[in-house]
Amino acid sequence: MIIIVSGRFFKYFTRGFATAIALYPFIIVRKKELRDKPFLVYHERIHLRQQLELGIIFFYIWYLVEFLIRFISSNSFYRAYRNICFEREAYSNESNMHYLKKRKCWSFIYYLSRS
């Protein structure tokens, strides 16, 4: 895992919405101080594991398709984002620093049907 700081990346690619993003094998954060936020970094580490399981391209295709489906059904950008199974898994477990040691492969599937 390599952490990169790039405010410009977030300005152009996330329109300021995100503070960190996982692009295997990197975690990119908006500001230098965010590198020291354990929950944020662990959240992104969970995404790195998801990307490894699905393959990076398929992960982002699934992410985008699920986001679009959830956006159409909720008409809310924030609700659609928070309800993506990958985000649900990461937010639910970002404070459990032992989660990745015990996590089973494809655990994000469990979060598909949960609301």
Render pLDDT for 5-15 as a digit per residue (tens, 0 to 9): 998 998 888 87
Query: Percent of the chain having pLDDT more than 90?
Result: 86
Least confident interval from 6-10, 14-18, 87-91: 14-18
Report the distance separating Cα 46 and Cα 107, nearest Å: 10
Report the distance separating Cα 29 and Cα 32, nearest Å: 7
| pTM of the shown model | 0.94
